[in-house]
Amino acid sequence: MSAPVLFSTFKTASGHVFGHAVLNNPAALNALTLPMIDLLDPQLKAWAEDDSIAGVILSAAGDKAFCAGGDVVSLHHASKRVEAGVVPPEAEAFFEREYRLDYRIHTYPKPMLCWAHGIVMGGGVGLMVGASHRVVSPNARIAMPEIHIGLYPDVAGTWFLHRMPKRTGLFLALTGAMINAGDAMIGDWADAVIEHGQFSEVLKAIEETTWQGNRNADSELLTALLKSFATQPIEPLLHTHAEAIDDVMNHNNLYDIDTELRVMQTHSEPWLAKAAQAYAHGSPTSAALSYELMERHANADLADVLRLEYQASVGCCAHPDFPEGVRALLVDKDKSPKWKPASLREIDHAVIEDILTPRFQGRHPLEDL
C-alpha cells in the first residue's frame, strides 16, 4: 500500500528546493488520521530546518477533496473500548498531535502553499487556514460541521471563526453551513481562487522561479505567482445573505440566537433554511460549547486557544454527544442522534465547565507551544 502522505522535493531555477507533501487517502476523502499527522509533522519540521528548502507545498490526491476532516470514526470506535465517561488514550494522542501540527503550520518560518480543492471540512480547514498562502478551487465546498457530531469547531476554529466579519463565524459554527470559495476569501481562509486543473502549471511556475531563500521576499514572489493564475471567485453566500444572518446573530445571548435560528428554518432562501435546519438537528451541547469558546477566544493567543481546545476536545470524548453524533452520522448513518440533553434550555453551565476541565496530570500536553 502507498503511504498515507507522500513526500517529494524539486529544485527551482535558483537552485533552491521546494518540499511537497501530498495527503494520500482519496478513497476516504483524505480524512486526517493519526498516522498521517505523525508523518506530516516531523517532515515539515525537517524542511523548516533545512536551509536548502525555500518553501513547502501541501496538497492532496484525488479530484474530490483536499481533506474532509479528522478521522473521528476511529475515535468513536476507541470510545467503545473504554467505560462511558472515560477518554480513550487514542483521543488524547490524536488531538494533541493534530493541534501541534496546526500550530506548526500557523507559525511556519517559510512560505507554505496549501492547495485546497473540492471538499475542505473540519480538520482540513485547520490545515489550510494556517498556511501563509491558501489556494481554494472555484468549486470548493468548505464547512466546519462539527455540531452535527457533538463536537465544536476545533483546530483553532473558535479562534479564526471569531475573526470573520460581524458574527458570520458564529453562524457557521452553530449551523455547520457549507460555504464557497468567495466566502473563504472574505473570511480570510484563502488568498486566491485557482482552477484545480492548473495545479501542474502552478508547480511548473514555482520550479521556474528564481527564489531568494528569504521568507519575506519569497512570500511576495509566491503571492505574485499565484495572482497570475487566479480567477474571480463566485459571489460569497455570507455576503449575499449578510442582512438575514445579522438579524439572527445580533443578540447578546445564545438563547435569543437559538430562537431566531429556529424561525429561520422556514426561510424562503434555501441555503439559509438548510443552515437553520442543520442547527436545529445538531447537538445543543455543541452549540453551547461553541458559543462559550468563541466568547473566551475574543482576544486570545493562538497557543492558548489550542490548549483550551485540547481540553474541550478530550472533554467531548467523555460526554455522550460526541460518540453518539459520530455513530448517527458516520457509523450507523441513521442520522437520528439522541442528544443528551436534548435542548439548549436543559443544559446546565456546569456541563460546559466539566467538558473544559483539564483531564491530564501535571503539565499541559501542549504547554510548550
65-67: strand order across its sheet? 65-67, 119-121, 141-143
More confident residue, 1 or 265: 265
From the list 123, 130, 150, 176, the catalytic residue is: 123
Alpha helix segments (H runs only) across 111-241: 123-129, 157-160, 168-175, 181-186, 199-207, 215-229, 237-240
Mean pLDDT of 72-76: 91
The confidence score (pLDDT) of residue 299 equals 82
Query: pLDDT tens, 282-324?
Result: 999 999 999 999 988 878 899 999 999 999 999 999 999 999 9
- Domain range enclosing 311: 5-356
**146 classed as catalytic:** yes
From the list 55, 62, 69, 70, the catalytic residue is: 70
Average of per-residue pLDDT values in the chain: 96
The confidence score (pLDDT) of residue 54 equals 98
Cα distances (Å, whole numbers) of residue 303 to 99, 190, 272, 275, 289: 9, 21, 34, 31, 19
pLDDT band for position 83 (50/70/90)? confident
Domain assignment present for 361:
no
The confidence score (pLDDT) of residue 1 equals 59
Instruction: For the chain, give percent helix, strand, coil, nearest 5.
Output: 50, 10, 35
Query: pLDDT tens, 47-66?
Result: 999 999 999 999 999 999 99
Domain assignment present for 304:
yes
Q: Residue 125: pLDDT above 70?
A: yes
The confidence score (pLDDT) of residue 286 equals 98
Domain assignment present for 366:
no
Domain assignment present for 211:
yes
Domain assignment present for 319:
yes
Mean pLDDT of 237-250: 96
From the list 41, 71, 96, 154, the catalytic residue is: 154
pTM: 0.96
Report the alpha-carbon distance of residue 108 to residue 240 in Å, rounded: 34
- Cell numbers standing for residue 172: 457557521
Q: What is the CATH number of the domain that holds 337?
A: 3.90.226.10
Percentage of the chain with pLDDT > 70?
100
Q: What's the domain count of the chain?
A: 1
Domain assignment present for 243:
yes
Domain assignment present for 367:
no
From the list 96, 98, 146, 292, the catalytic residue is: 146
Report the alpha-carbon distance of residue 116 to residue 57 in Å, rounded: 11
Report the alpha-carbon distance of residue 345 to residue 268 in Å, rounded: 27
**282 classed as catalytic:** no
Mean pLDDT of 85-91: 89
Domain assignment present for 368:
no
**169 classed as catalytic:** no
**70 classed as catalytic:** yes
Mean pLDDT of 200-227: 98
